[in-house]
Amino acid sequence: MTKDGVTVAKEVELEDPYENMGAQMVREVASKTSDSAGDGTTTATVLAEGIYASGLKYVSAGANPVYIKRGIDKAVAAAVAELAKTSKKVSGREDVRQVATVSANWDEEIGNIIADAMDKVGKDGTITVEEAKSIETSLDVVEGMQFDKGYLSPYFVTNAETMDVALENALILIHEKKINNLNDLLPLLQMVSKVSKPLLIISEDVEGEALAALVVNKLRGTLNVCAVKAPGFGDRRKAMLEDIAILTGGRCITEDLGIKLENIQMEDLGKAKRVAVDKENTTIVEGAGKSTDIQARVKLIRRQIEETSSDYDREKLQERLAKLAGGVAVINVGAATEPEMKEKKARVEDALHATRAAVEEGISAGGGVALLRCAPAIEGVKLEGDEAIGAQIV
């Protein structure tokens, strides 16, 4: 049983193709709202229905739909600006806990765990949600790193429902340049397939016959593999790859080392207890790097932050420091049954997205009150003709 707007909308499938087209439009509204904000999907659905019904009435009466749409856009922009002006900033653990609790359908356990997670890794830290092997929901903070590059091919996914990749006890190739020659890659693939471990390839790019070979091996079940682009650009990319190498106990294969791809040995590969990859991000959890090497790297980055005179460089160095030293918070969601697990995990993910949005942009009064208070701002937008009708609809 759920009252989550996007969950309900996804389950609506109508026999009549024209009616289903309308349902699909509402599903899209709920889905986009869930992706961008993590919550408020029911409100977005109600607003979409109201705007659509009113708009259809005026279009049927002869109004121009293009001008109505422009009026709606201008009114929405005014409302959003007013919401931003009147929103209250979220600061401190208690505020975070309250927002997370409300977003999780008043589940205080989830609220407390999300507050603890954000407390430990910071508002920009990496927080992942996993299914627990017990009925208890718990929080673990482990050494790890996340960067904003996703899989190079959807054929790498291990879970078709969530469209993501999960690699357990993975080997990691960290390569500075592009990989497009299959012959260069073949010795490595043969070596990894003998030990029956999954492989993550991080490089500038993987293309052509090399990418095709990886996809074929994955589809045939010969090798559990995933390839992602390296984060960053230029010298910053090389530095970030070195960070990953130190975190995972591997070696960054660069031109400077003079090591060719076909000559790579097992000890050159990094290792991690778990790797999670989706369309946009790669998360490496519990790398096999030595803690002394990681701490030395952290000290080096801190010294570079102190010495640099560029605000931009300082910001990028601080991002690297957060990725290397901040760790990854893992929320393990436990439940007694599979349906309960899915429902609870969805609530945790919704609450996490909503809390991040609240920390970033603030919170407003609920129950439609904040939207009602935006009415004067919309009335202040001076429009004429059918554009004014669009604003009136909002």
Tens digits of per-residue pLDDT, 268-297? 999 999 999 999 889 998 888 898 998 899
Helices 65-86/41-60 angle, 10° precision: 150
Burial of residue 214 (number of CB atoms within 10 Å: 0-12, 13-18, 19+): buried
Q: What is the pLDDT of residues 161-170, one digit of tens each?
A: 888 999 999 9
Instruction: State whether 339 and 386 are in the same domain.
Output: no
What residue numbers bound the domain in which 36 lies?
Answer: 5-88+364-393
Quick one: pLDDT at residue 255?
77
Residues 6+ apart with CB under 8 A from 84: 361, 362
Instruction: State whether 151 and 271 are in the same domain.
Output: yes
**298 within some domain:** no
Distance CA 290, CA 27 (A): 48
Instruction: State whether 136 and 208 are in the same domain.
Output: no
**161 within some domain:** yes
Q: Given a cut of 90, is residue 155 above it in pLDDT?
A: yes
- Using a cut of 0.75, tell me whether the model's pTM lies above it: no
Quick one: pLDDT at residue 6?
67
Distance CA 288, CA 217 (A): 26
CATH code: domain of residue 99: 3.30.260.10
Q: What is the pLDDT of residues 159-209, one digit of tens each?
A: 888 889 999 999 999 999 999 888 889 999 999 999 999 999 999 999 999
Instruction: State whether 237 and 341 are in the same domain.
Output: no
Quick one: pLDDT at residue 357?
83
Q: Given a cut of 90, is residue 226 above it in pLDDT?
A: yes
Domain count of the chain?
A: 3
Instruction: State whether 200 and 102 are in the same domain.
Output: no
Q: Given a cut of 70, is residue 124 above it in pLDDT?
A: no
Contacts 24+ apart (CB under 8 A), 250-256: 250/172, 250/173, 250/174, 251/174, 252/174, 252/175, 252/176, 253/173, 253/174, 253/175, 253/176, 254/176, 255/176, 255/177
**295 within some domain:** no
The token pair at 269 is 């590969």
**136 within some domain:** yes
pLDDT-derived band at 343 (thresholds 50, 70, 90) equals: confident
Quick one: pLDDT at residue 197?
93
Instruction: State whether 97 and 40 are in the same domain.
Output: no
Instruction: State whether 58 and 98 are in the same domain.
Output: no
Instruction: State whether 19 and 50 are in the same domain.
Output: yes
**78 within some domain:** yes
pLDDT-derived band at 381 (thresholds 50, 70, 90) equals: confident
**301 within some domain:** no
